[in-house]
């Protein structure tokens, strides 16, 4: 019973709660960005009426990309962390069964591979922001890499 509780709490703490927090705060951030842009947009439109629609379209695209990045990050986090939690629950459920050494080795290998995938989930935001984040993040990354290469040579 203790191991079952530990594995269930592990799945809850490492998978379910982070996903809920990620989605909640991501949506709140997107909503906050939209609200602040609306305030800035109304002030800008009253001062410069000819720049309004073009700026509004860019903001809409940016909001769309933010939402896509949030959804991609959440789906990939689920993809990389959920299997390990399921494997831990499986090993707990089948703990009382008699297993061959080969079966134990296979389960340990599966656990270690899935644990490695769980570690990959920590690096997901970097790749998402690099690939989907837009020109500013990529340009900053390129500048940092250029500075590092200049120092090394």
What value does the mean pLDDT take over residues 43-56? Answer: 59
**What does the pLDDT look like over 87-101, one tens digit per residue?**
888 888 888 889 999
Q: What is the pTM of this model?
A: 0.68
Closest CA to 16 of 105, 87, 81: 81
Distance CA 144, CA 130 (A): 13
Calpha distance 40→31 (Å, rounded): 14
Q: How far apart are CA 15 and CA 100, in angstroms?
A: 30
Write down the domain spans for the chain: 2-122, 124-153
pLDDT: is 39 or 51 the higher one?
Answer: 39
Distance of CA 16 to the CA centre of its chain: 13
Contacts of 99 (CB under 8 A, 6+ apart): 107
Task: Write down the pLDDT at residue 105.
Answer: 95
DSSP label of 49: T
Residue 152 CA neighbour count, 13 Å, CB half:
6
Separation CA 53–CA 100 (nearest Å):
68
CA distance 114 to 81: 8
Q: Can you give the pLDDT at residue 112? A: 92
* Mean pLDDT, rounded, for 40-65: 66
Position 147 scores a pLDDT of 92
On whether the CB atoms of residues 140 and 76 are closer than 8 A, the answer is no
Contacts of 110 (CB under 8 A, 6+ apart): 87
């Amino acid at each position: 019973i203790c191991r079952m509780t530990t594995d269930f709490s592990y799945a809850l703490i490492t998978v379910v709660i982070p996903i809920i927090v990620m989605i909640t705060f991501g949506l709140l951030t997107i909503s906050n960005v939209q609200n602040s842009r609306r305030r800035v947009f109304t002030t800008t439109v009253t001062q410069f009426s000819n720049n309004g629609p073009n700026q509004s379209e860019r903001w809409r695209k940016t909001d769309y990309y933010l939402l896509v990045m949030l959804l991609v990050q959440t789906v990939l986090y689920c993809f990389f962390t959920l299997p390990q939690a399921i494997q831990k629950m499986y090993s707990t459920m089948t703990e009382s069964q008699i297993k061959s050494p080969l079966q134990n080795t296979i389960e340990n290998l599966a656990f270690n591979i899935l644990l490695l995938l769980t570690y990959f989930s920590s690096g997901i935001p970097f790749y998402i922001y690099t690939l989907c984040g837009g020109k500013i993040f990529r340009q900053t990354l390129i500048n940092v890499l250029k500075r590092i290469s200049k120092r090394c040579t």
